[in-house]
Amino acid sequence: MMKIKIGWILMLVFLISACTSGRNKNIIHIGMVDGWAEGVAMTYVAKAMMEEKGYHVVIQRATPDMILASMNNGDTDLYMDVWLPLTHGAKVAKFPNLQEIGTSYASARNGLVVPDYVSIDDIEQLKEHAAQFKSRIIGIEKGAGITRAVDQVVKDYNLNYKHINSSTVAMITELQNAIKEHRWIVVAGWQPHWMFAKMKLKFLNDPKKTLGSTEEIKIFARKDFRNDQPELAELFSHIHFDDATMADLLAQMEGARDKAATAKKWLEEHRSQLEIPD
């Protein structure tokens, strides 16, 4: 009798262990940085795609570093917004258990951005107009790849400017207020972003290429994702946004109260443009 009881206990322990350590393949955890317009938009479109196929999608909001670390540990499945080679290159290199599964956008760009009425065109010219810019570059979160790049711009161009870090929302608010008052302002900006459709802006030329040139937005996943989810890996290997499609998506998503519903409706209307396989 004792041997039978021990046998049942061992079997119970094994079953509990299997249930708790196994991964539910119908649940997908996708990382997202709040406030990063293109990442938020693509994440909700990806969520809509996967839900159509019967998956339950959990959005995990965090910083890029936390998302990549979680994906490296196997806890997060997907991240739609990895910019390479410059913006997130050093971050991705820290984590060996990641895999690239697709390129969603091929013509992204980082830079210093000013309103179009500002009469300079080059980062070098910031030196001559420090007073008009109040010797400030308005940036975003400290953990962002563009933040590190802008810090390097200040050094490479020997600018006597302070790089102000807050949040993406705060940066855009300050930019909007400056434009209303026709003030000079320089911010850390990137494309694709809806602000280029809503405001008349321009990038300052970067002859030293400190901010890089063209970036690609990559879709990354945890190491075993392709083996565990071949259908989804194949799906995301084909997803591609061209300039017009991305601009339209960002315009629709900007300000939408229900981003999930907006993304679902947008997907229904633009499915063919994303080259989604059947």
> Tens of pLDDT along 157-215?
999 999 999 899 999 999 999 999 999 999 999 999 999 988 999 999 999 999 988 99
Residue 215, C-beta contacts closer than 8 angstroms, at least 6 positions apart = 83, 84, 85, 86, 87, 108, 109, 110
Pair (6, 140) in one structural domain: no
Among 178, 203, 228, residue at a domain's last position: 203
Span of 3-12, 21-30, 54-63, 70-79 with lowest mean pLDDT = 3-12
Using the CB atoms, write b or e for 193-221: b if 16+ within 10 Å: bbbbeeeebbbbebeeebbbeebebbbbb
197 and 118 in one domain? yes
Neighbours of 131 (CB within 10 A): 8
Task: Record the tokens describing residue 277, joined without a space.
Answer: 């396989």
Please give the Cα distance from 46 to 40 (Å, whole number).
Answer: 10
Give the pLDDT mean for 5-28: 54
What whole-number distance in Å separates Cα of residue 176 and Cα of residue 187?
A: 11
User: Are 64 and 135 contained in the same domain?
Assistant: no
165 and 245 inside one domain: no
Tell me if the bond preceding 85 is cis, omega within 30° of 0.
Answer: yes
Residue 259 CB neighbour total at 10 angstroms:
19
Instruction: Please report which confidence band the pLDDT of residue 99 belongs to, taking 50, 70 and 90 as the band edges.
Output: very high
Cα torsion through 180, 185, 187, 193, rounded to 10: 30
Domain-located, residue 208: no
**pLDDT number for residue 278:** 57
Neighbouring residues of 73: CB distance < 8 A, sequence distance ≥ 6: 97
In our burial notation (b when 16+ CB lie closer than 10 A, e otherwise), range 34-73 reads ebbbbbbbbbbbbbbbbeeeebebebbebebeebbbbbbe
Give yes or no: residues 115 and 99 share one domain: no
pLDDT (tens digit per residue) in 200-229 = 999 999 999 999 889 999 999 999 999 999
- What are the CA-CA distances from residue 200 to residues 163, 170, 250 (Å)? 23, 18, 16
Q: Is residue 210 part of a domain?
A: no
Kindly state whether residues 103 and 164 are assigned to the same domain: no
CATH number of the domain to which 152 belongs: 3.40.190.100
The reply to whether 135 and 224 lie within a common domain is: no
Residue ending a domain, choose from 146, 171, 203? 203
Examine residue 29 and state whether it is found in any structural domain, yes or no. yes
Q: Does residue 9 lie within any of the structural domains?
A: yes
Return the DSSP state at 89.
Answer: H
Quote the tokens at residue 28.
Answer: 């997908």
DSSP letter for each residue of 239-253: ----HHHHHHHHHHH
Percent of the chain surpassing pLDDT 90 = 79
Residue 50 binned pLDDT confidence (cut-offs 50, 70, 90)? very high
How many domains are there within the chain? 2
> Residue 191 belongs to what domain range?
109-203
Q: 209 lies in a domain?
A: no
Confidence category of residue 276, pLDDT binned at 50, 70, 90: low
Q: What pLDDT band is residue 11 in, cutting at 50, 70 and 90? A: very low
Confidence check: pLDDT of 147 > 90: yes
Contacts of 87 (CB under 8 A, 6+ apart): 110, 145, 146, 149, 212, 215
Does 148 lie in the same domain as 33? Answer: no
Domain-located, residue 133: yes
Examine residue 198 and state whether it is found in any structural domain, yes or no. yes
Identify whether 260 is part of a domain: yes
Both 144 and 238 in one domain: the answer is no
Examine the domain organization and report whether 179 and 53 are in the same domain.
no
Asked if 102 and 125 sit in the same domain, the reply is: no
User: CA angle at residue 193 from 211 to 98, to 5 degrees?
Assistant: 65
User: Do 8 and 100 lie in a common domain?
Assistant: yes
Last residue of a domain, one of 203, 227, 249: 203
- CATH value at residue 265: 3.40.190.10
